[in-house]
Amino acid sequence: MEFFRIIDKQVTEEVIQMSINPENLEKFTDSMFFLEENYNNFKGGTLWGEFNISYDKINGGVRFTLLDCPNALSWTITTGFSPEKTKIVIHCTINRTKKPTEFIEEINDFLDEWESGLISQF
C-alpha cells in the first residue's frame, strides 16, 4: 500500500538532508524517537514499538525504513520530483495490499504528524 502527503513548502534536497536525521526526530514528530546508534542504522521508538531503523540520504531527500517491521514500513521525505517537484513529498509504503482499518488510520496519523512537523520546521 502507498500513502502520500504533499507539503506546500519549498526547500532543497540539501536542507532536507541537513535538517532531518535520527538525532533530531523530536523536532518533526512526537511519536518517534532516537534511542541509540546501531552501526549504520539506529534503534528508535515509534507508536508501534521499538525497531532497528535505517536512515539514508537519498536523491531528493531522506528515507527511513523499519528494518524488523513485519509490514516493511518505509517512508521518504523528498523534493524535486513528481508528483510535486517544487514541494515536499512524503511517500510511505508497506508490503501489504490490505490491512485492518485501525492500522491504516495509525499510518495516516503518523504521516499527519510528520506533515505538521515539516510545516512547522520549514
pLDDT per residue over 35-82, tens digit each? 998 877 999 999 999 999 999 999 999 999 999 999 999 999 999 998
Mean pLDDT of the region 23-34:
93
Cell readout for 76 is 521518504
Residue 113 · residue 31 · CB < 8 Å? yes
Instruction: Please tell me the distance from the alpha carbon of residue 51 to that of residue 44, in angstroms, as a whole number.
Output: 6
Tell me, what's the pLDDT at 38? Answer: 80
At 28, which amino acid appears? Answer: F
